[in-house]
């Protein structure tokens, strides 16, 4: 039997997520929003019977056993830790908090409750083109040595019509945090982590016709960085959100090996092996979407990956022998992966400030009051 779902968030992701969950057979029992008005509007538009702006009102519902956290990043750690503390499965949207300390609290909570699902929503891991690319790399399709990886993402504006957290770098807005899941994709494909990085961040869009008062946009809309991985592979990443029309999106992931290259464009995978005159299609995505979205915030590849991930969750909870099984979601991003991404993001920020290469330092120090945090998460809902 599939668990009832509570959704934390009222943005466009929530409006896409709820129909996806229902399509796979999940029952959405509750919607949480920052304000009661936002929660009510989303609940009515998605035909969800219960809405609230109180976190515990969702977590204490006996018909909610799985929560999706797709709200503002500064709330991700708080809700995740509290949800795990009272026995709820958690899927948290990227990023895993605002900094490594947030992510580390989430990691410790997931380790404290290993029988619960705790995942970060990095949907590109489930996009068929990338699962095929990963398999090709594992089979040395382009040779045993991967020497270079190049990632290019171009998308429309990240900023809404009215000023909110997405305009503020300190609150988790901007290209680095919202599209920085490519860092997770690199480790997923190559099975290597970054040792050091060099990055450049810029905020070219400081005002818009609607945002031009006292507060200006501080979140970066341009991000270029390089990563040196543990086995010597070099990765270059370019994230641009100011160079294309408002709702356009393009993504290209190119991996060079000693005997050719693999490239994913959009949702299609192509290969060029040594000696071949031109690229050949390895996988072509023919699946159509029945969702109309703003491509800037929810590009088609991300929605398709999210759809596949929800399907994997359905398989995980479909076991008759136990409450859930790990195999269907074994390739999903964990809270530990989320912590690693935060470490890379912090190193890129430091590199931008120092204008030098920066080592990636993964935090392993638990918060001093971690046990108290876990106990409080349980007690505060009693």
Whether residue 157 is predicted with pLDDT greater than 90 in this model: the reply is no
The full length of the chain comes to 382
**Ranges 155-169, 171-185, 302-316, most confident:** 302-316
Strands 89-93 and 118-121: parallel
Q: What is the distance, to the nearest Å, from the Cα of residue 91 to the centroid of all Cα atoms in its chain?
A: 10
Q: How far apart are alpha carbons 382 and 371 in whole angstroms?
A: 17
User: Could you write out the three-class secondary structure of 221-283?
Assistant: CEEEEEEEECCCCEEEEEEECCCCCCCCEEEEEEEEECCEEEEEECCEEEEEECCCCCCEEEE
What phi and psi values does residue 268 have, to the nearest 5 degrees? Answer: -110, 145
- pLDDT by residue (tens digit) across 60-90? 999 999 999 999 999 999 999 999 999 999 9
pLDDT band at 292 (very low <50, low <70, confident <90, very high): low
Please, what is the average pLDDT of the chain? 89
- pLDDT by residue (tens digit) across 118-151? 999 999 999 999 999 999 999 999 999 999 999 9
pLDDT band at 380 (very low <50, low <70, confident <90, very high): very low
pLDDT top residue among 359 and 381: 359
**Which one-letter DSSP state was computed for residue 329?**
G
Query: Minimal CA–CA distance to 147: which of 91, 66, 74, 231?
Result: 231
Walk me through the domains of the chain, giving residue ranges and CATH numbers. Answer: 4-124+299-342 (3.40.50.720), 128-283 (3.30.360.10)
Dihedral angle sign, alpha carbons of residues 244, 248, 251, 252: negative
Q: How far apart are alpha carbons 347 and 176 in whole angstroms?
A: 12
Q: What is the distance, to the nearest Å, from the Cα of residue 117 to the centroid of all Cα atoms in its chain?
A: 16
pLDDT top residue among 56 and 181: 56
Q: Are 227 and 193 in contact (CB under 8 A)?
A: no
Mean pLDDT for 306-325 is 86
Strands 146-155 and 194-202: unpaired
The model carries a pTM of 0.90
**Within 13 Å and on the Cβ side, how many CA atoms surround 186?**
33
**Which one-letter DSSP state was computed for residue 171?**
G
Q: Give whole-number Cα distances, 38 to 14, 43, 158, 325, 367, in Å.
A: 12, 9, 20, 35, 33
**Ranges 10-19, 23-32, 240-249, most confident:** 23-32
Peptide bond into 329 cis (omega under 30): no
What phi and psi values does residue 57 have, to the nearest 5 degrees? Answer: -60, -30
């Amino acid at each position: 039997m599939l668990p009832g779902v509570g959704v934390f968030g009222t943005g466009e992701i929530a409006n896409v997520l709820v129909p996806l969950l229902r399509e796979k057979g999940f029952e959405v029992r509750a919607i949480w929003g920052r304000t009661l008005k936002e929660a009510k509007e989303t609940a009515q538009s998605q035909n969800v019977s219960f809405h609230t702006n109180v976190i515990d009102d969702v977590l204490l519902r006996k018909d909610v056993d799985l929560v999706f956290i797709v709200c503002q990043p500064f709330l991700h750690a708080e809700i995740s830790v509290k949800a795990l503390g009272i026995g709820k499965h958690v899927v948290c949207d990227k990023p895993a908090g605002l900094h490594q300390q947030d992510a580390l609290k989430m990691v410790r909570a997931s380790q404290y409750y290993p029988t619960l699902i705790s995942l970060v929503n990095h949907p590109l891991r489930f996009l068929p083109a990338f699962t095929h690319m990963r398999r090709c790399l594992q089979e040395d399709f382009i040779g045993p040595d991967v020497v270079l990886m190049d990632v290019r993402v171009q998308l429309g504006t990240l900023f809404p019509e009215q000023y909110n957290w997405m305009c503020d770098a300190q609150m988790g807005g901007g290209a680095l945090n919202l599209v920085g899941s490519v860092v997770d994709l690199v480790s997923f494909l190559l099975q290597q982590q970054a040792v050091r990085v060099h990055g450049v961040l810029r905020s070219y869009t400081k005002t818009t016709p609607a945002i031009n008062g006292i507060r200006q946009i501080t979140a970066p809309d341009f991000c270029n960085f390089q990563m040196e991985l543990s086995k010597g592979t070099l990765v270059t990443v370019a994230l641009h959100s100011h160079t294309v029309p408002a709702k356009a999106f393009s993504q290209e992931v190119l991996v060079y090996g000693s005997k050719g290259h693999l490239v994913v464009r959009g949702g299609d995978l192509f290969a060029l092996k040594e000696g071949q005159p031109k690229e050949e299609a390895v996988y072509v995505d023919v699946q159509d979407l029945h969702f109309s979205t703003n491509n800037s915030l929810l590009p088609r590849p991300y929605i398709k990956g999210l759809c596949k991930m929800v399907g994997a969750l359905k398989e995980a909870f479909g076991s008759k022998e136990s409450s859930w099984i790990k195999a269907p979601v074994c390739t999903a991003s964990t809270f530990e992966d989320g912590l690693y991404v935060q470490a890379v993001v912090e190193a890129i920020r430091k590199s931008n400030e120092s204008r030098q290469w920066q080592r990636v330092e993964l935090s392993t120090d638990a918060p001093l009051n971690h046990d108290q945090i876990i106990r409080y998460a349980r007690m505060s809902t009693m």
